[in-house]
Structures are given as structure tokens and as C-alpha cells.
Amino acid sequence: MVKDARPTRTDYYQVLAKGLPAGTLVVTALGNASYLWAAMHHVPENFYIEDSMGLALPLALGLALAQPSRRVVVVEGDGGTLMHMGALVTVGAVKPANLSVLLIQNGVHAASGGQKLTNPALDLAALARAAGIGRAINVAHPKALVAALGDSAEGPQVLVLATAPDVEVVRPPIAFDPVLSKQRFMTAIGAPRYVPTLFGGGGLEGA
């Protein structure tokens, strides 16, 4: 059996955990993108996507626009990116300076069992540049990620991380309850709570 020479998701996550400035908002995609990050670096500023393929980037884009004074990092997969290409195009159009996009390129749909992508060798960095994101590069080693994350130039930036597939599910340290995740994250960013009413309408708490 030939061993995959590409770095693992863990290799990149170790670099990310060490290099994140305090208060950075991190959005992670479904499956091990969230499970492993929670196991390695569980903080209130994390928002874990669960069972919504391709929606990590759209959510992170909204956060970056709503919280322009804070750095936002999103970890999305190649499969999720191809599913919602419009989000990448929108990033190129609005160019939020505080957004860093880490695309895990492992060539498979890891969260659903490891099925191969239709075009696993697609140059996603070139695709991002074509969408209007000038700072988009392919990263083949965690050391290169260190340098890219330390780049002081304004974003957005897209870093495509060559990664070995990790199909075996990592057990996160917490139960992934979407409501609790939302409430924890809203508290961390100081967002007012939405209070629904019996017959619709509702409003923001304290408004």
C-alpha cells in the first residue's frame, strides 16, 4: 500500500491553532473539518457547521462583512466549494479584507465516505483568482501555511491546502447541538438574541 505523501488535516490545524490571533472567528465545514477542530481548539469563537455541505463559506462571508474589525477564518472542503461556487464569486466581488479561506483539497467527499470528486485535480487557487480573489495560492506543506497566515497584507485570501483524505470520523469533545452552538457563538460575538413570537414577527432582544 502506497502511503499518501500529502500532509494531514491535523498537520494544518496544529499550525492554525498556534497562529490564530486572539478573538479570531473560525467557521468550520461539516464532518472532520469541525470535529477535529473542536477536539484541538474548542473556543466560543468557533462556529461548527453540521450537515450543511458548502455553507461554511457563505456564513463566514456574512460574518466578515458584519464584523469588519475581527479576523474571520473559514475551513471549507473542495467538495463543498464546488457545490456552492457562487460564494467564492461573491467573495471576489465584495472583497472583505478580514477574511481568510482555507480550502481543504483532498479530492474526495470525506464527510460522506470518501467518494472521489468529479475533478479532484482542479486548480482551486486559479479558480479563486479567476473569481476576483487576487491573493489565492496552493499550499503543499504546513510551513507554507505559517508564512501565508502571517502575511500582513489585507485579504481576502484563499489558501488551498493539499491534504490527505481523513475518512475515519474524529470524535469531538462536545455534543454538536446546532442551537447551543449558535447561542454560544452569538454570545462570543456580542450579537443580540432573536426572540420569536407565537404568531410570527419577533425581534431582537432589547430592541
Looking at the chain, the whole-number percentage of residues with pLDDT higher than 70 is 96
Nearest CA to 158 among 123, 134, 140?
A: 134
- What is the rounded average pLDDT of the residues 113-132? 87
pLDDT value at position 133? Answer: 96
Cell numbers at 141, concatenated = 506543506
Q: Report the alpha-carbon distance of residue 165 to residue 142 in Å, rounded.
A: 16
> Which residue segments constitute the domains of the chain, with CATH numbers given?
9-204 (3.40.50.970)
pLDDT of 66 reads 94
Are the C-beta atoms of 135 and 129 separated by less than 8 Å?
no
The more confident residue out of 27 and 83 is 27
Q: Name the DSSP letter for residue 93.
A: H
pLDDT interval class at 107 (50, 70, 90): confident
pTM more than 0.95 = no
Helix (H, G, I), strand (E, B), or coil: what is residue 130? helix
Q: Model confidence over 141-162: pLDDT tens digits?
A: 999 998 888 776 777 999 999 9
How far, CA to CA in Å, does 69 sit from each of 80, 96, 97, 99, 161?
Answer: 27, 11, 10, 11, 26
Query: Measured between alpha carbons, how far is residue 32 from residues 36, 84, 102, 113, 174 in Å?
Result: 5, 19, 14, 12, 13
Higher pLDDT, 26 or 152: 26
Quick: pLDDT tens for 48-106. Answer: 998 788 899 999 999 999 999 999 999 999 888 988 899 999 999 999 999 999 999 98
Q: Are 98 and 64 in contact (CB under 8 A)?
A: yes
Please, where are the H alpha helices in 67-193? 78-83, 85-94, 124-130, 142-149, 178-189
**Mean pLDDT across the chain, nearest whole number?**
89
